[in-house]
Structure formats: C-alpha cells, structure tokens
Amino acid sequence: MHLTQSLKRALQLNPQGVATISGERQHTWTEFYQRIRCAAAGLLALGLEKKDRVAILSLNSDRYFELVYALPWAGLISVPLNIRLAPAEIIFLLNDSGAKVLCVDETFSAMLSEFKGKLDTVETIVYMGDNEFDGAVSYEDLLSKSETIEDTGAGGDEVAGIFYTGGTTGLPKGVMLTHDNLVANGLNAVHGFGFTKHSRYLHAAPMFHAADAAANIGLTMLGGTHVFVPKFEPELVLDTFVKSEVTNVMLVPTMVNMLVNTHDIDTYDLSVLVRICYGGSPMPEAVLLKAKALIPHVEFTQAYGMTELSPIITILDDEYHVTDGPKAGKIRSAGQVVLSGEIRVVNENDEELPRGQIGEVVARGPTVMKGYWNREVETAQALANGWMHTGDAGYMDEDGFVFIADRVKDMIISGGENVYSVEVENAVQKHPAVSACAVIGIPNDEWGEEVLAIVVPNEGESATDAHIISFCKEHIAGYKCPRGVVFVDALPTSGAGKILKNKLRDPYWEGRERNVN
C-alpha cells in the first residue's frame, strides 16, 4: 500500500472539493495535488535522495500537511518533531535521525540560533513562513520554482516516517512507521471514526503527534476536508468549528473539559459537529455528562493506542458513552480492537491470560511499527514473539473491551501529554545535591496530574526545590519538569530494591481515583 494512494483517490473522486483550510488560505484537492508535486520536486532538488530524512518543527498548518504528502511522494522520510521539546532535545533528534533538511515555521524559527554548530547532518533549513528568512530556503519559493514530478513509488514496508517517543529508559526512540502501517491505520480510522466524504476534520491537537496524524490518511482517502488551527485554544477552536463547518475533531479529555467550560459555549452554533474523538486517557464521567448536556447531538469516540501502533489499537464507540443501562461501565475501558488488529493480555511468558485478569497488553497486525530507528535491542524487546508489547497493564472483559490499569506503569499524564517518570528522574538525578529520587504524578484539577519529584539529598548537601526545578529546565522540556519537590530521608523499596511508587503516590490520591488509562 502507498501513502500517496489516498491523495490520488481524493483527487479522482473530489477534484474540486476543498482539501485544506488554514486561516484565510484554502486549497482544492486539485490545487493541493499540484502543490505537493512541486514541493516534492523542490525538496529533491535540494540534493536529497530517496529515504533521506526531512524533519518538521512547526505548529499546525496546511503547509505542514502538504509535507505529509510531499515527502512520501518524493520517497523521503518525514521526522515530525515534538514542538514542546527544549532545543537540546531537538538537536538530539535531528542528529539521531540524520535529518538532512529541517522545515521550520515562523514560531520555531526563533530556535534556529540555538542549533548553530550543533547539527551533524542538517544541510538545509526550509522556512515555512510567509516571508523570507535569512539562511533558509523559502517553502513557497521552493514550490513556485519547481515543476511537478511523478510519484517516486515509495510504499509497502518502506519507512514513511520516524516518530519520536519519549523513551522510558531515558533517550527518545524513533518509531519507524511504514506506508503499510499508516494506510492500515487509515482504513481502521475510517471505520472507527465514522468518516464520510462530507467530513471536515479539525487538526487541533499537535500534528507531530501520531494521535492527530491518525486522521490524515483515512480522511484523505474519502476526499474530505482538513481544517487547521495553529494550536489548541478553546475560543479559536470554537470559532473554527462554526466558521469552517467542522464535523470531526480529535482532542484529549483535558481539551474537551476546557471546551465545555468555555463560558459562552452556548453562543456557538455547533449543529454540524458530528463527533469528538479523544485519546490519551478515559473520559471523566463529569466531563462527559457536562458535554452531553451542552452538545447532546455530538458523538464521542475514544481511541487508544501508541505511536508504535500507528497509533490506534482500540476504539470505544459512542454507544458505550453512557452511565446507565446494559452498556454502562464500558466507558472506563479503552474499547475494542480495531478492525484489522489483534490484541490480547498476557503474562510474563507471553501466554494469554483469562478474561478479567490483569497482565501486559500486547498487539499484532498491520499497524505494528517496523521497529525503532537504529535501536535493534529495544526493537527486539518490544516486538518479542511477534507481538508489540505496549508496556501497559490491563485486562479484557468478556466482550473484548480492554481496561487499562496503568498506562505505562508509572507514566504521568499532564494536560494530555505523556511524561515518562524515568526521563524526569534522570534529569533530577544529574543535580549534584541529589542522591536518589522518584517522580510521580499527583492530582491537579486543571491538568489531571502534575509532576512531583521526591528527592533524597546527598549527605551534607542541600538544595531548594526552586534550584532543582530550574536545573531540570536546562535539560528537559518545561512540561516535563517537576512542579514541586519533596525531600525525604529514604524511598520505600521492595525486597528486590525496586522503588514502590504506589506507596509514594497513595497519600496524594486518597479519596480520589487516579485516571490511570
């Protein structure tokens, strides 16, 4: 299968239909097709060869989406970068992926000066803004000065993109997703999200993330319309819903919560909005009830997955978003396996467990990644016995609904963003005053959870919480840094010497339920 097939289908079925709406800019599928064929030619003319990597560091826009198609058309591999990372982290990813080109928008062009002299492989900067940028090739120039080229024919199990995930063991890993992976996910998404050729999808969650990308191929196959906002802001999203007649959107529950708490939400005409998909965590009952009261016609669908699964592996349909009746209780699950996938819960020997018993969730099928970029050992571990090991603990009920007990055992979900505790611990631990530390998630009314570091200081050393937090900000992205630091004499450990994070968490969660999906 070929990622570009979806575009050819859109062009064939709906040539005059609207492909993209980004602010005041709008393109038909015919125009979009023309633009991406010029972009592909322009990129290759920079001296790139098939399978070279092209990184993207940008807020959401139609130009970002053009690259999603221009790169596979040219046989190049996309590397979408997490926009929340610190410059040092971005530099690591650019070097790790061996990217030859970095495409950057107005917002992130400010970061370029910090990269100087530190990039091992990047030869060209492409500037995606409207004007010129010193030392960079203008994206619009690249297009207007290029003739179109034909599809280079990349497809099948060739890598289409490398999507970096924060690794639980410290360094981020590049997840290699193939054309087959992404198209198979697209087919599952069309079914699971109920897209039609009339769908107008708002890209509101960051486009670097596989969760937003999940909608790319499927909606394009149908010749639907992609609408973009630079980033999630409740009023902007509500305005765009109305202005661009948006039918579908993908959000995290935190964003849904922000939307339904927008004070004048009832002044927006949301009658054409059909469905809100959400992922990252289950829908809190209170948020669902509030949303159902405000926008009762809108359907909710949960998608659960991970980048390594391209990314969707289970779907919870709207009909299970109820709090009474025979379907009640399913809302706390992550749903049932996607159309072409397989999922099961296994013990430590990879043997399937009986229904109801908690074990590790593993998955198989056409959306399982090819592997981690240049990480053979981690790839072999993750894909042991032919199944993707999610690292998530959960169980399955008699109807095939998967309940996640602990998303990754100790992962913290703050504002819909995954924070891997080990990564934070590694940063904290670099501080000379720190002897040992454990990082946990504690309740936060706005963000779901916030990051807390529990620190055992070195004898004779002392440091304030402010010191440690600002020290962390030099090493990792702000959203990953602890909001607070607690100093203790010792950490509770198991007989085998493993830190018992549950014991640390429990006092903070007393009387409330942690959203551990």
Binding site for a copy of itself (CB under 8 A): 1, 5, 8-9, 12-15, 183-184, 187, 190-191, 221-222, 336-337, 339-343, 365-366, 396, 398-400
Residue 206: CB minimum distance to a copy of itself, A? 27
Q: What is the DSSP secondary-structure string of 456-494?
A: EEPTT----HHHHHHHHHTTS-GGGS-SEEEE-S---B-
- C-beta atoms surrounding 10 within 10 Å: 26
What's the distance, CA 87 to chain centroid?
19
- C-beta atoms surrounding 399 within 10 Å: 11
Give the nearer residue to a copy of itself in terms of CB position, either 184 or 454: 184
Residue 308: CB minimum distance to a copy of itself, A? 18
Place of tokens 């290759």: 44
> CA nearest 313: which of 176, 407, 240?
407
Give the nearer residue to a copy of itself in terms of CB position, either 9 or 332: 9
Give the nearer residue to a copy of itself in terms of CB position, either 239 or 399: 399
Give the nearer residue to a copy of itself in terms of CB position, either 183 or 207: 183
Q: Return d(Cα 92, Cα 147) in angstroms, integer.
A: 34
- C-beta atoms surrounding 297 within 10 Å: 10
Give the nearer residue to a copy of itself in terms of CB position, either 175 or 184: 184
Give the nearer residue to a copy of itself in terms of CB position, either 130 or 319: 319
Give the nearer residue to a copy of itself in terms of CB position, either 340 or 435: 340
Residue 27: CB minimum distance to a copy of itself, A? 19
Q: Return d(Cα 129, Cα 138) in angstroms, integer.
A: 8
**Cis bond upstream, residue 282 (ω within 30):** no
Residue 441: CB minimum distance to a copy of itself, A? 31
Residue 190: CB minimum distance to a copy of itself, A? 6
What's the distance, CA 242 to chain centroid?
25
Residue 394: CB minimum distance to a copy of itself, A? 14
Residue 342: CB minimum distance to a copy of itself, A? 6
Residues in Cβ contact with 368 at an 8 Å cutoff, skipping those fewer than 6 apart: 181, 308, 309, 310, 383, 388
Residue 178: CB minimum distance to a copy of itself, A? 13
Give the nearer residue to a copy of itself in terms of CB position, either 332 or 503: 332
Q: What is the DSSP secondary-structure string of 372-412?
A: ETT-HHHHHHHTGGGSEEEEEEEEE-TTS-EEEEESSTT-E
Place of tokens 């099948």: 156
Give the nearer residue to a copy of itself in terms of CB position, either 14 or 124: 14
Measured over the CA atoms of residue 140, residue 141, residue 142 and residue 145, the dihedral's sign is positive
Residue 301: CB minimum distance to a copy of itself, A? 15
Taking the CA atoms of residue 323, residue 325, residue 330 and residue 331 in that order, the dihedral angle to the nearest 10 degrees is -20
